[in-house]
């Protein structure tokens, strides 16, 4: 059987998108999802998303890491699926959708070669502050560590060591490294479920901005990632509660095609 797919990327975090409103793919088919994301034997992506019907919402987002496992929230994926819904004509300049972590609003600005998507993320609470790290859930779990510079820094090696340490080995965590520059922040991320450094991670950039906000007493950051630039805004209620979190950046359709499944 052949199915149609679309490939999108948001600051280099890349995804296979499938319009699953007619249930053409079973979300339980882990092997197939892993195969479609494989960079040698499949289409190749950090993750796969199914756009599905959801009563009371424009659509449901189901996100899978490239290992085929249904994962927690993906911020860049959220921005890309909003662009996908816009290109399919499901939404105009606004969206309200449901994902694994709850409902999300989004705003769309068409820039011809890409779509600028502002995505409202969940409120963040229960923030852990350690000697040299922050740990929080921004839709997905994120460990954030500040480093002096990204020059010659090995995100894969250092990220993997934290992701597989005694505390995180079983459940996994995403690991972000943050350095400050004149523009704002530079962030690199090791992602669980991809088990590699990705070019960008939306929920990771949000966790990095919230952590940096405590250090710099700010509520708005411009962020550089390996795959491009993002912006994060939020409102700090107190040391444990962050509300009105927005992740803003480009989402681009790369190509579409059909694949045998
Ligand atoms: N790339 C994502 C995060 C995807 C989920 C993560 N790998 C996990 O399993 O926690 C993003 O842009 O937020």
For the stretch 195-211, pLDDT in tens is 999 999 999 999 999 99
Q: Which of 138, 126, 16 is nearest to 75 (CA)?
A: 138
Asked if residue 153 and residue 110 are part of one domain, the reply reads no
The CA distances from residue 95 to 23, 83, 104, 244, in Å, are 21, 10, 8, 16
The CA distances from residue 122 to 103, 175, 200, 222, 247, in Å, are 8, 19, 19, 19, 11
Asked if residue 210 and residue 149 are part of one domain, the reply reads yes
Asked if residue 81 and residue 39 are part of one domain, the reply reads yes
For the four alpha carbons of 149, 153, 159 and 161, in that order, the dihedral sign comes to negative
What are φ and ψ of residue 88, in 5° steps? -80, -10
Interval 78-93 mean pLDDT: 98
Asked if residue 132 and residue 35 are part of one domain, the reply reads no
Q: Exposed e or buried b for every residue in 123-135, given b needs 16+ CB within 10 A?
A: ebeebeeeeeebb
Interface pTM, i.e. ipTM: 0.97
- Looking up residue 210, the CATH number of its domain turns out to be 3.10.310.10
Question: Distance from the CA of 55 to the center of ligand 1, in angstroms?
Answer: 25
Asked if residue 179 and residue 69 are part of one domain, the reply reads no
Residue 72 tokens read as 């927690």
Asked if residue 56 and residue 26 are part of one domain, the reply reads yes
Q: Is the pLDDT of residue 174 over 90?
A: yes
Q: Give 135's pLDDT tier (boundaries 50, 70, 90).
A: very high
Asked if residue 129 and residue 97 are part of one domain, the reply reads no
Residue 114 contacts residue 252 (beta carbons within 8 Å): yes
- CB-based pocket (< 6 A), ligand 1: 13, 65, 71-72, 74-77, 140, 174, 191-194, 198, 201-203
What are φ and ψ of residue 76, in 5° steps? -70, -35
Asked if residue 24 and residue 106 are part of one domain, the reply reads yes
SS3 assignment, position 50: strand
Asked if residue 137 and residue 200 are part of one domain, the reply reads yes
Q: Look over the chain and give the mean of its residue pLDDT values, rounded to a whole number.
A: 97
Owning domain of residue 138: 124-244
Q: Which of 243, 246, 241 is nearest to 220 (CA)?
A: 246
Q: Is 80 a residue of the active site?
A: no
Asked if residue 212 and residue 163 are part of one domain, the reply reads yes
Interval 127-134 mean pLDDT: 95
Domain count, the chain: 2
Question: Distance from the CA of 228 to the center of ligand 1, in angstroms?
Answer: 17
Q: Give 183's pLDDT tier (boundaries 50, 70, 90).
A: confident
Asked if residue 134 and residue 107 are part of one domain, the reply reads no
Q: Which atom of ligand 1 is nearest to the CA of 65?
A: 7
Report pLDDT for 67: 97
What DSSP assignment string belongs to 107-124? EEEE-SSSEEEEEEEPPE
Interval 165-187 mean pLDDT: 96
Asked if residue 110 and residue 195 are part of one domain, the reply reads no
Interval 96-107 mean pLDDT: 98
């Amino acid at each position: 059987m052949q199915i149609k797919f679309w490939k999108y990327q948001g600051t280099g975090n890349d995804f296979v998108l499938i319009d699953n409103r007619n249930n053409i793919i079973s979300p339980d088919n882990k092997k197939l999802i892993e195969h479609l994301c494989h960079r040698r034997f499949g289409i190749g992506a950090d993750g796969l998303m199914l756009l599905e019907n959801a009563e009371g919402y424009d659509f449901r987002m189901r996100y899978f890491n490239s290992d085929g496992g249904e994962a927690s929230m993906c911020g860049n994926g959220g921005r890309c699926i909003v662009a996908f819904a816009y290109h399919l004509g499901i939404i105009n300049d606004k969206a309200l959708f449901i994902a694994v972590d709850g409902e999300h609003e989004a705003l769309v600005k068409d820039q011809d070669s890409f779509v600028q998507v502002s995505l409202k993320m969940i409120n963040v609470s229960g923030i852990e502050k350690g000697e040299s790290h922050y740990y929080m859930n921004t839709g997905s779990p994120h460990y954030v560590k500040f480093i002096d510079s990204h020059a010659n820094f090995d995100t894969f090696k250092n990220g993997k060591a934290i992701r597989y340490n005694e505390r995180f080995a079983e459940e996994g965590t995403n690991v972000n490294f943050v350095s400050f520059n004149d523009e704002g922040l530079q962030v690199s991320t090791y992602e669980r479920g991809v088990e590699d450094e990705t070019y960008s991670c939306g929920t990771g950039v949000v966790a990095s901005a919230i952590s940096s906000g405590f250090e710099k007493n700010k509520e708005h950051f411009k962020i550089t990632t390996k795959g491009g630039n993002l912006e994060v805004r939020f409102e700090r209620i107190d040391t444990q509660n962050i509300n009105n979190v927005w992740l803003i950046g480009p989402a681009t359709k790369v190509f579409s095609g059909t694949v045998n499944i």
